[in-house]
Amino acid sequence: MTDSRMPLLTRIPLVKGHSARARAGFAAAAVALFGLAPLALSDFRLGLLAKYLCTAMVAVGICLAWGRGGLLTLGQGVFFGLGGYAMAMHLKIADAGPGNLPDFMQLYGTATELPWWWQPFANPLFALAATVLLPMLVAALLGSFIFRRRVKGAYFAILSQALTAAFAIWLIGQQATTGGTNGLTDIQGFFGYDLNDPVNQRMVYFVIAAALLLLMALARQLIHSRYGELLVAVRDSEERVRFLGYDPANVKLVAYVVAAGMAGLAGALFVPAVGIISPAMIGIVPSIEFVIGAAVGGRASLVGAVLGAIGVAWAKTALSEEFPAAWTYFQGLLFIVALAFLPGGLASLVGMVRRRRAARASEEPSPALPVGEAA
Amino acid sequence: MSSGSSIFRRRMVAGAAALAAAVALSACGAKTDAGGSSDKAAKADTSGDTVKVGLLNSLSGTMAISEVTVRDSLKLAIDEINAKGGVLGKKIQPISEDGASDWPTFAEKASKLIREDRVVATFGCWTSASRKAVKPVFEKNKSLLFYPVQYEGLEESPYIFYTGATTNQQIVPALDYLKNQGKKSIYLVGSDYVFPRTANKIIKAYAKANGMKVLGEDYAPLGSTEFSTIANKVKASKADAVFNTLNGDSNVAFFKEYKSAGLTATSMPVVSVSIAEEEVKSIGSQYLAGQLTAWNYYQTTAGAANTEFVKAYKAKYGQGKPTSDPMEAAYTSVYLWKAMVEKAGSFDPEKVKAASDGITFDAPEGKVTVDGASQHIYKTARIGKIGTDGLIEQVWDSGKAIKPDPYLKGYDWASGLS
């Protein structure tokens, strides 16, 4: 339908009304996040929402890489962790003040000065850039290796899992320089602002909400560009895309690297919101939880994945407060029900309703599935 | 179409930027260097006929097996106190939260207890990682945590009371015991987290100063059940004894492998610092009989207070339920808090802290005294031998309650540790 020499990021024309709906959706989300939530929620609940929004940011990347690109990213914890640790390392150095070692190093370490690989993080610009670029770099190296060798499907998922496990175990082992299982805790300030102050906590929430909307806009742009079409094509039939003259490895690599950057940013913002980053947020279980949130909501739908991630994180808090002794069973049940009966996630419900309505309105055969429901 | 939506996008971005800028400008709070930020602490609610206290334990995940017993024990103490009229005429209402063996969850739940439930004090946490995760939350909100488990020391938070042993009340006496038994070499096995790693650092410093050899040091991830390699390495080392800081269900696998490697309590005794009566029950006493433990309390500890405690616990939770050191320390912590509040005449954390020094309680482990300076308590160290019936019999005690020394300042060999 379009000249193959057109730039890949050109937007392709959409179904009529799609764009207006997106516009309304963005506006509604902005009003909810910037207006309603701060008014309706206590400081504590708003802090929790900030945490959920961080998992939603990871879900945006998962929607792109898994939902659109078919890459089962079971290892997003690594990138979340890289971003989180990069941020936390800078904040710990800043908390300690010039010339001092972070508290845990004085406690568990023997070194009298910062390890060499900590030193660049003393620079706020380097640390900020690293939160996004470091995960992207790791993903690029790893991805080019994996995709060129045409590793896919379950093997890709297993590799991702192995990597998160290895990263978490490494962090735990280096107690003197990474804080071990404790992780980096007791973070007091955020670029000069005192995190103990509820006003600053609120500011962190606004930054996170804005970042989430920005990432969603970016992902939407990618999904509705020619690149987005190509990504879906690779997911559905990699060989055909190869025969058409594209290199599927590069197509997948871009989605993987962008998803990693998003997870890194999420991890970086998680640190000031929660005040801790630890291997518990990085290993196999949290990596699976990131994916589950997107799966429950609908991995191929941007809004579905984001709402799914927020919903699952919220349900975790709500259920555990209500049934402290039995909530894990409820959570498990929720996943099983969602995945067994709605493999396309909750977002597919919307599509089902829409199709049924369309079918009832006219006797014409229902239109081809929108891409979002094909997965 | 595409030009329309790009205008829209530009507007969106501009709008978002303006919004963010407005928010940032209006929302600039205190700077880190502004000194003591005005009193932002959440105020506990003491207005009604009841006061709420938080119980923060892992009720799910790998630590649940141990932490649920602590929660039960805390509830027992609260019920007993309520039955006798409460504290300062108010009944105590426990709010239980699940830390889920996950450290950021502990921080979230601690925050919820303090800021949403407005509890007057919180009891709980087990692993050091969970304590480290909640420590800033309690300090930030100026709220009190009573921590009932033996730990690796090197900490004194102004808002935490430590009612379990610090290293000089558990690990150091256990090493003294091994030394006096003529053990010249030891092998260290632990779970991979802060307590075992720090404990082993202290053990190595002790060993160096006391002419003991450390023949090996191995860590397994929390929750790991793969121990055949470690058991074989331990066997090959021919050490005189093993110092075990494994936590939770890893112990089950370790002791099974230990036995199948042909090692026994007589050929190579294991001293464990995280195995109490509850864990003996789940590991199986056939694997553990004759092995040593280091604690401050056993179910068999003599004394009227303990007889009462064991009886009350079994009456409430079942005859088959054993009592253990962390449970006892948790139970004691509630009574110590009550005594502090009554001495202070107030639930206010600052007044409670000020009143804490010298508070005593006839605990099941014997009389304990609060050391106000370190907010730890004086405790008697006890070495026990696990019996075939699953109970632990004391074989040695320190004779008197040892003054807490979390930074091991009183020990020359420990000078390089912190």
Q: Which two tokens stand for residue A373?
A: 């429901």
DSSP summary character for residue A369: P
Q: How far is A258 from chain B (nearest CA, A)?
A: 20
Q: For residue A239, what are its two tokens?
A: 């060989």
Query: In this structure, are B368 and B410 located in the same domain?
Result: no
A167-191: pLDDT as tens digits: 998 998 888 889 888 899 989 889 9
In a domain, B36, yes or no: no
Which residue is closest to A166 within chain B, CA to CA? B221
C-beta atoms surrounding B3 within 10 Å: 7
Burial of A368 (C-beta count, 10 Å sphere; 0-12/13-18/19+)? exposed
Q: Which two tokens stand for residue B127?
A: 């692993």
Asked if the structure places residue B37 within a domain, the reply is no
Query: Which chain B residues touch A199 with a CB distance below 8 Å?
Result: 27-30
B189 in the same domain as B243 = yes
Which residues from A are below 8 Å from B8, CB to CB?
Answer: 19, 23
Q: Is residue B84 part of a domain?
A: yes
The Cα B187–Cα B246 span in angstroms is 13
Among A12-26, A144-158, B60-74, B211-225, which stretch is predicted with the lowest mean pLDDT?
Answer: A12-26
Residue among A263, A15, A255, A252 at smallest CA distance from A132 = A263
Q: Which strands sit side by side in the sheet containing B213-220, from one edge to the other? A: B213-220, B185-191, B241-245, B270-272, B292-295, B382-386, B392-397
Q: What is the pLDDT of residue B1?
A: 39
Global model pTM greater than 0.95? no
DSSP state of A101: P
Neighbouring residues of A31: CB distance < 8 A, sequence distance ≥ 6 = none
Strands (E), B44-132: 50-57, 91-98, 121-124
Contact A193, B31 (CB under 8 A): yes
B298 falls in which pLDDT band (50, 70, 90)? very high
Query: Looking at the structure, do residues B322 and B243 belong to the same domain, yes or no?
Result: no
Indicate if the pLDDT at residue A1 is higher than 90. Answer: no
Q: How far apart are CA A22 and CA A12, in angstroms?
A: 15
Instruction: Supply the range of the domain harboring residue B103.
Output: 50-165+305-378
A64 band by pLDDT with thresholds 50, 70 and 90 = very high
Interchain CB contact of B204 with A (< 8 Å)? no
- In a domain, residue B59? The reply is yes
Report how far apart, in Å, the C-alpha atoms of A241 and of each of A173, A237, A255 are. Answer: 44, 7, 16
Min mean pLDDT across A176-185, A257-266, B40-49, B265-274 is at: B40-49
Is residue A251 pLDDT above 80, yes or no? yes
pLDDT(B35) > 50:
no
User: For residues A96 and A105, what is the distance between their CA atoms, to the nearest angstrom?
Assistant: 11
Which among B20, B103, B198 is the nearest to A108, CB-wise? B198
Give per-residue pLDDT as tens, B386-399: 999 999 999 999 99
Q: Residue B90 falls within a domain, yes or no?
A: yes
B323 shares a domain with B261? no
The answer as to whether B133 is a domain residue is yes
Q: How many domains does chain B have?
A: 2
The predicted structure's pLDDT at residue B16: 53
Tokens representing A362 are 């006219």
Q: Is residue B222 part of a domain?
A: yes
For residues B285 and B406, membership in a common domain is answered with yes
Claim to verify: residue B321 and residue B213 sit in the same structural domain: no
Q: Is A320 on the interface with B (CB under 8 A)?
A: yes
Whichever domain contains B251, its CATH number is 3.40.50.2300
Same domain, B144 and B60: yes
| Nearest-neighbour CA in chain B from A239: distance (Å) | 31
Whether residues B180 and B200 fall in one domain: yes
Q: Are A143 and A252 in contact (CB under 8 A)?
A: yes
Mean pLDDT in residue range A367-374? 42
Do B252 and B391 belong to one domain?
yes
Percent of chain A with pLDDT over 70: 92
Closest CA to A51 of A336, A286, A221, A258: A286
Q: Name the band, by pLDDT with cuts 50, 70 and 90, for residue A327.
A: confident
Quick one: pLDDT at residue B41?
58
Give the pLDDT band of residue A368 (cuts 50, 70, 90).
very low
pLDDT at A364: 47
Same domain flag for B238 and B340 = no
Query: Quick check: A330 contacting B, CB < 8 Å?
Result: no
Does position B417 have pLDDT exceeding 70, yes or no? yes
Sheet strands (E) in B178-305: 185-191, 213-220, 241-245, 270-272, 292-295
* Beta strands in B315-402, from DSSP E residues, in sequence order: 360-363, 366-371, 376-378, 382-386, 392-397
- Report the relative pairing of strands B50-57 and B121-124 from DSSP bridges: parallel
pLDDT at B203 (0 to 100): 95
Residues 168-227 of A with CB under 8 A from B: 169, 172-173, 175, 180-183, 185-189, 192-194, 196-203, 206-207, 210, 213-214, 217, 221
Contacts of residue B349, defined as CB under 8 A and 6 or more positions apart, other chains included, come to B44, B121, B142, B143, B144, B159
Identify the pLDDT of residue A190.
Answer: 92
DSSP A367: P
A226 in Cβ contact with B47 (< 8 Å): no
| Nearest residue of chain A to residue B34 (CA atoms) | A194
Query: Do both B388 and B257 map to the same domain?
Result: yes
Instruction: Establish if A13 touches chain B: CB-CB under 8 angstroms.
Output: yes
Query: What percentage of chain B has pLDDT greater than the value 90?
Result: 74
The 3-state DSSP class for residue A262 equals helix
**What pLDDT does A153 receive?**
80
DSSP character at residue A139: H
Extended strands (E) in chain A: 189-190, 193-194
Residue A8 vs residue B252, higher pLDDT: B252
Residues A251 and A231: beta-carbon distance below 8 Å: yes
Residue B6 lies in a domain: no
Cβ contact B139:B42 at 8 Å: no
pLDDT at residue B27 is higher than 70? no
Buried b (16+ CB within 10 A) or exposed e, B103-122: bbbbbbbbbbbbbebbbbbb
* A13 contacts B2? CB cut-off 8 A: yes
Is B343 in the same domain as B395? no
Question: Tokens representing A332?
Answer: 């498990």
